[in-house]
Amino acid sequence: MHLDFAVIADYALVDQAGKLSVLGIFQHVWVQQFPAMHPRLHLVLRLKGKRTEIGEHQVQIRLLDEQDVEVLGGNGAVNFAEPPAGVIDIEAGAILVFDVPLPHAGAYRFEITVDGDTKAAVPLTASQLPQQPQGGH
């Protein structure tokens, strides 16, 4: 089982045919002030595996800051269905939607673990918008 890709985006969906659509991929956010909350962040994953890996696989997501403090965590499962006859590889898209707390400026990362193995760390940085000078030209 391997993670084909993992990205942070504004929006994503999986259609009826299993096709993954991703809009607005990013790795940096600007906020007015800290602490902040980034609403409706989509963490998009695509997992690939062999036919022998059909079934349910455990996925753990942790958002860590640069001091390895866990800001957010969650667990879920990805289910691989039986592929059509003749198909060797299986794949599944997963979209996790979070309201992400950002306690301070700096570097964060989403750590993705599948069946107990760390597969990826997706970076996210947060900065405060520069203050506009008051009344000047």
Helices then strands, counting H and E runs in the chain, come out as 0, 9
Q: What is the pLDDT of residues 86-120, one digit of tens each?
A: 888 888 888 989 999 999 999 999 999 999 999 99
Pick the CATH number of 2-128 from 3.20.20.100, 3.30.70.1900, 2.60.40.2550, 3.60.20.10: 2.60.40.2550
Domain borders along the chain are: 2-128
Q: What is the pLDDT of residues 16-63, one digit of tens each?
A: 887 899 999 999 999 999 999 999 999 999 999 988 898 999 999 999
